[in-house]
Chains A and B, each alone.
Chain A
Amino acid sequence: MRRIVALWLGAILVVGGLGAIHSVVAQAPVAGGTLTFAAGADPDSLDPQNTQSNPGEQVNRMMYENLVRFNAKMQIEPGLAESWTQSADGLVWTFKLRKGVRFHDGTPFDAKAVKYFFDRVLGDEKPFKASLYTPFVQGAQVVDDQTVRVTLKQPFAAFLFRLAHSAGGIVSPAAHQKWGKDLTLHPVGTGPFKFAEWVKSDRVMLERNDAYWGGRPLLDRVAVKTVREDSARVLMLEAGDADLILNIPPEDIPRLRKDPRFAVDSIATARALYVVINVKKKPFDDVRVRQALNLAVNREAIVKSLFQGNAEAISGIVAPLQNGFAKLPGYAFDPKKAKELLAQAGVPALKVKLWSPKGRYVKDFELAQAVQQDLAAVGVEAALTTMEWGAYLSATKTGPEQTDRELFLLGWSPSTGEAQWGMFPLLHSSQLAPKGDNRGFFVSKALDDAIDKATTATSEQTRLGALREAQQIVIKDAPAIFLISPNMIVGASKKVHGVVNLPLELTYLTEKSWKEK
C-alpha cells in the first residue's frame, strides 16, 4: 500500500514537474531591460590575466571569451576556437578560430590576437595568472588568420582546461597595448556584454554588444552590484531592487523558497573543504593519527544538520565535480576505530591547535566547531582559533620552521575545473610552503609520480588512470581531514531566465539570458 501511495506521489510530482517545464518552454524570450545582479564582493580586477577572485571572474566571463569553454557539466566545448587538433606526441596543438569575430573596440579577433595572449602570459609582464601557462607552454605561432599553432615544452593533459579557465579570456591586443596594467579599468573582450562603467565597491555596468558573433544579446544592460551584507542582498531581491543574488544565508533559504516570486537554486560545486594537517609536527607524522582524525568526523551529520543538505561529503581532497574525480571509498564515521588507532600510535589523549577562517567559506567556522566536537569524542581536544582572512592566508603559508600550526581549515576550488589542479598545488612536493600552497608539508614520492603522470599524459585514459591512483594515495595517506564540498546558493526572480551557474562558483549571464517584462 505504501509503495502504491509513493508511486502515485511520484507520478503527481513528475506530471507537476513536466507542467512547470512546459510553462517555461512556452514562454518566448523577450529582448530588453536591465538585469541587476547583487554579489557579495567587488571584482578584484577586470583584466582576466590578473583576476584571481570569483567576483572578478564572473564579470569577466560576460565580457571576455576563451578559445574553449566549460559547459554546465564542466566538459570542454568550443569557444572562440571552432576546432582543434593535437599532435601524436602531445606537443603541438593547432586551433581553428571562429571567423568574423571582433573585439568591442573593433579590433578583429584573429590568430594574431591569440598569439598576443600567449606572448603576454609568457613574457616579462608576469600577470598574476601566468603560472597557469608558463610551466608547460613554449609559445604560439600564427599559421594564417584563422589558425594558431601552440607548442608545449612537455605534453600537458589539462591544457584545454587551462585555456577554459577565466584567465584564458582573450583580450584585445590594441587595448592591452594602449592601457598596459590599467587594462583592468578599460576592459575590452569579444563577449556578449561590453564594459560601460565601474564605480569601485558599488557597481560594474555592462552593456549589450550589438556586434556579438552569437547574435544580439537579449538583455540591454547588466548591473553587477556589490552588496556586502548577506541579509541586505536578500532584502534587495525581496524589494525587487535585484533580480539575481548570490550566497543566500542558509536561514533565509526556506523563506525565499516559499515565496512564489523567487527561485532558489542549490548547485554542487568543485570546491573541497578540508582541515590541513601539518605532517611535520608530531604526532601527525604518524599516518595512523591522521587516519584516526578522518575516522572521527561524522561528515553525513555535518551535511545534514549544519548544511541542511546543501553540501556533499567528500572522501578525498578532490570534489566530485572536478574533472578526473574518482569515486573511491573514504573514511566512514567510526569513532571506535579512531580511538584504537590513536591508542596504537601511543596518543590516547591529544591536545591540538585547530585554526579556522570565519566568513571566507560558507559556514567555515561552524564547520570547524563540528570537527572540534567530533574530535573531542575520540579524546582529541582541539583549541579552536580564528583569524581574519588576510592574516590567515599568511599564517598558514609560512615555512616549517616559522610555524607551530597543526590543524587548519582551508578550501580549494581548482578554477581549471580538473583534478590535477585540485591536487598538484596542494600536495605535490615541489609546492611546499612558503613558496607554494602545500601548507601541510606533505611529501610522497608515489603521489608525486602519479600526479606527474597525470600532468603529462597524452591520452585521456592515462590521465584518468593516474588521477585515480593519485586520489587513492591521498585518501590512504590522509594529509588532511577531508570534509565536504559545499553547494553554491543562487536566488533569482522567476522572471529571470538563462542564468549560467558554473560549478566553479561563477554565476553569469550570456546573450541568451533574458528577463520578463
Chain B
Amino acid sequence: MAVYVLRRILLLVPVLIGVSLVSFGLLQLVPGDPALILAGEEASEEVLIRIRQEYGLNRPLPVQFLSYLRHAVVGDLGISIQSRQPVATLLGQRYPFTLKLAFLAILVSATLGVVAGIVAATRRNSPLDLAALLGSLVGISLPIFWLGLLAILVFSVKLRWLPSGGAGTFAHLILPALVLGAASSAVIARTTRASMLEVLRQDYVRTARAKGLSDRLVVYRHALGNAMIPILTVFGLEFGYNLGGAVLTETVFSLPGVGRLIVEGIFARDYPVVQGALLIVATTFVLVNLLTDVAYAYFDPRIHYN
C-alpha cells in the first residue's frame, strides 16, 4: 500500500510537467497582449516595449517555457504581471479559502446527498423517494448562479441572517457552502440511490434480514459499505472540482478563491498566475483521486494495491 501511494505521488512529476506545457501552450494560443491589457489604452509604444522586456514576454516561447519550469522546480512561481504580487503569495491567500469552502460544501452534499439517497432507496416508489428524485433533478438543473442569487435575496436581503458576500468570518462561508453543496448533493443523492438499490437486491442482504437483523443495521452496516464505491467516485470528482475553484459560486458571493483567480488571470493574460494556479489545481486533483483510491480499499477489503 505504502509503495503504491509513493508511486502515485511520484507520478505527479510528469503530470505537472504535462499540465505546465498544456497550460502554457493554451495561454499562448489565446489572442491578446498582456502588456496592452496591463498598460491600458493610453500607454505609449515605449511603455509596452518596457513591459514586455520586464516580464520576458519578448523572448522566444521555448525559452520562456524552460525558464518558467526552471524557476517552478525550486518553488518560484514568478510574480503576477497585473499586481506584482508573487504568485505563491496570491495562492497562499486564496488556496486555504478554497479548501475551506470545498470541505464545507462536500460536508453539506455528503450529508444531504447520502441521506436523501438512502431514504429514497429504502422507501422506493414512496412519496419520499419521489420527493428526493424530484429534488435532485431540480438541484442538477438549477444554475448555481441563480441559486446563489436567490439564496442571497432570501437569507441576506429579506431575512438578514447571513452576509451577502465577501470573506472574513465563518458566517460568510455558510451560504456559499450550502449553495455549492446543494448542487453537488443532487448528483450524490442519485448515485447513492442507484447504488443502494443494487446492493439491497443482493442475496447477502436477504440473508442478513433473514437472520433477523434490524432494518437499520442491514441498511447502514451491511448494504451501505458495499454501496460506497460508486458514491466515493462521485465524492472524489465533486470534491476535486470544488477544490479547482467553484468559479460561479465565488463570483456570486465575491469570494477570493482560486477559481476566480484563474478566470481573472485569463482575462488579464496574467500568464504566471494562471500557470501557477493550474499547477496547484492539478496537484489537488491527483491527490484527491489518490485519496479516493485508498478509500476504496478501506470500504472494500477485496481491493488490494500492490
Of B33-41, B188-196, B280-288, the stretch lying at the interface with chain A is B33-41
Chain B residues closer than 8 Å to A227, beta-carbon distance? 165-166, 254
A131–B43 alpha-carbon span in the complex (Å) = 7
B84 at the interface (CB under 8 A from A): yes
Nearest B-chain residue to A131, judged by Cβ: B44
* Contact across chains for B268 and A239 when beta carbons are under 8 A apart: no
B298 to chain A, nearest CB (A): 38
* Contact across chains for B32 and A52 when beta carbons are under 8 A apart: no
A232 at the interface (CB under 8 A from B): yes
8 Å CB contacts to A: which residues of B33-55? 33, 36-47, 50-51
Complex interface bits, A33-65 against B, C-beta within 8 A gives 1, otherwise 0:
000000000101100000011000000000000
Nearest B-chain residue to A182, judged by Cβ: B84
Nearest A-chain residue to B155, judged by Cβ: A239
A8 at the interface (CB under 8 A from B): no
8 Å CB contacts to B: which residues of A312-352? none
A235 at the interface (CB under 8 A from B): yes
B261 at the interface (CB under 8 A from A): yes
Q: Which residue of the partner chain, among B45, B90, B149, B160, contacts A231 with CB atoms under 8 Å? A: B149
Which has the most chain A C-beta neighbours within 10 Å: B30, B153, B164, B256? B164
Chain A residues closer than 8 Å to B167, beta-carbon distance? 199, 202
* Contact across chains for B42 and A425 when beta carbons are under 8 A apart: yes
Contact of A181 with B84 at beta-carbon distance under 8 Å, contacts A129-B42, A235-B164, A394-B36 already known: yes
* Contact across chains for A232 and B253 when beta carbons are under 8 A apart: yes
Contact of A226 with B254 at beta-carbon distance under 8 Å, contacts A393-B32, A393-B36 already known: yes
* Contact across chains for B42 and A185 when beta carbons are under 8 A apart: no
Chain B residues closer than 8 Å to A239, beta-carbon distance? 152, 156-157, 160, 163-164
A395 at the interface (CB under 8 A from B): yes
* Contact across chains for A232 and B45 when beta carbons are under 8 A apart: no
* Contact across chains for A232 and B42 when beta carbons are under 8 A apart: no
A361 at the interface (CB under 8 A from B): no
Of A383-391, A399-407, A482-490, A505-513, the stretch lying at the interface with chain B is A383-391
Chain A residues closer than 8 Å to B90, beta-carbon distance? 200
B122 at the interface (CB under 8 A from A): no
B31 at the interface (CB under 8 A from A): yes
A201 at the interface (CB under 8 A from B): yes
Contact of A228 with B37 at beta-carbon distance under 8 Å, contacts A201-B256, A391-B31 already known: no
B31 to chain A, nearest CB (A): 4
A393–B152 alpha-carbon span in the complex (Å) = 35
Which has the most chain A C-beta neighbours within 10 Å: B36, B84, B85, B153? B84
A361–B167 alpha-carbon span in the complex (Å) = 28
Complex interface bits, A160-193 against B, C-beta within 8 A gives 1, otherwise 0:
0000000000000000000001101100000000
A414 to chain B, nearest CB (A): 9
Q: Which residue of the partner chain, among B84, B157, B261, contacts A235 with CB atoms under 8 Å? A: B157
| Number of cross-chain contacts by CB at 8 Å | 138
B65 at the interface (CB under 8 A from A): no
A44–B45 alpha-carbon span in the complex (Å) = 20
Which has the most chain B C-beta neighbours within 10 Å: A129, A132, A241, A388? A241
User: Interface size class for chain B?
Assistant: 35 or more
Nearest A-chain residue to B34, judged by Cβ: A390
Chain A residues closer than 8 Å to B157, beta-carbon distance? 235, 238-239
* Contact across chains for A388 and B32 when beta carbons are under 8 A apart: yes
B4 at the interface (CB under 8 A from A): no
A236 at the interface (CB under 8 A from B): yes
A229 at the interface (CB under 8 A from B): yes
* Contact across chains for B46 and A131 when beta carbons are under 8 A apart: yes
Chain A residues closer than 8 Å to B152, beta-carbon distance? 232, 235, 239
Nearest B-chain residue to A389, judged by Cβ: B267
Chain B residues closer than 8 Å to A132, beta-carbon distance? 42
Nearest B-chain residue to A41, judged by Cβ: B264
* Contact across chains for B41 and A437 when beta carbons are under 8 A apart: yes
A226–B33 alpha-carbon span in the complex (Å) = 24
* Contact across chains for B165 and A232 when beta carbons are under 8 A apart: yes
Chain B residues closer than 8 Å to A388, beta-carbon distance? 32, 267
B237 at the interface (CB under 8 A from A): no
Chain B residues closer than 8 Å to A129, beta-carbon distance? 42-43
A290 at the interface (CB under 8 A from B): no
A165–B19 alpha-carbon span in the complex (Å) = 43
User: Interface size class for chain A?
Assistant: 35 or more
Chain A residues closer than 8 Å to B23, beta-carbon distance? none
Chain A residues closer than 8 Å to B46, beta-carbon distance? 126, 130-131
Chain B residues closer than 8 Å to A52, beta-carbon distance? 38-43
Chain B residues closer than 8 Å to A247, beta-carbon distance? none
Contact of A390 with B253 at beta-carbon distance under 8 Å, contacts A131-B43, A241-B166 already known: no
A271 at the interface (CB under 8 A from B): no
A203 at the interface (CB under 8 A from B): yes
A66 at the interface (CB under 8 A from B): no
Chain B residues closer than 8 Å to A185, beta-carbon distance? 83-85
Chain B residues closer than 8 Å to A201, beta-carbon distance? 256, 260-261, 264
8 Å CB contacts to B: which residues of A122-136? 126-132, 134
Nearest B-chain residue to A240, judged by Cβ: B160
A90 to chain B, nearest CB (A): 23
Which has the most chain A C-beta neighbours within 10 Å: B41, B156, B261? B41
Nearest A-chain residue to B54, judged by Cβ: A181
A132–B44 alpha-carbon span in the complex (Å) = 9
A416 to chain B, nearest CB (A): 9
Nearest A-chain residue to B164, judged by Cβ: A239
* Contact across chains for A126 and B47 when beta carbons are under 8 A apart: yes
A120 to chain B, nearest CB (A): 14
Chain B residues closer than 8 Å to A128, beta-carbon distance? 38-40, 43, 47, 51
A435 at the interface (CB under 8 A from B): yes
Complex interface bits, B131-164 against A, C-beta within 8 A gives 1, otherwise 0:
0000000000000000001001100110010011
Q: Which residue of the partner chain, among B32, B40, B269, contacts A53 with CB atoms under 8 Å? A: B40
A397 at the interface (CB under 8 A from B): yes
B251 at the interface (CB under 8 A from A): yes
Nearest A-chain residue to B83, judged by Cβ: A200
A299 at the interface (CB under 8 A from B): no
Chain B residues closer than 8 Å to A435, beta-carbon distance? 45
Q: Which residue of the partner chain, among B30, B44, B83, B163, contacts A391 with CB atoms under 8 Å? A: B30
Chain A residues closer than 8 Å to B84, beta-carbon distance? 45, 181-182, 184-185
B93 at the interface (CB under 8 A from A): yes
B104 at the interface (CB under 8 A from A): no
* Contact across chains for B50 and A126 when beta carbons are under 8 A apart: yes
Nearest A-chain residue to B268, judged by Cβ: A390
8 Å CB contacts to A: which residues of B190-210? none
Known: A131-B46, A232-B251, A391-B31; 8 extra A-B contacts, CB below 8 A, are A52-B39, A52-B40, A52-B43, A126-B47, A132-B42, A134-B44, A236-B165, A239-B156
For the complex of A and B, list the 3 residue pairs with the smallest distance between their C-beta atoms, beginning with the closest. A52-B40, A390-B32, A131-B44
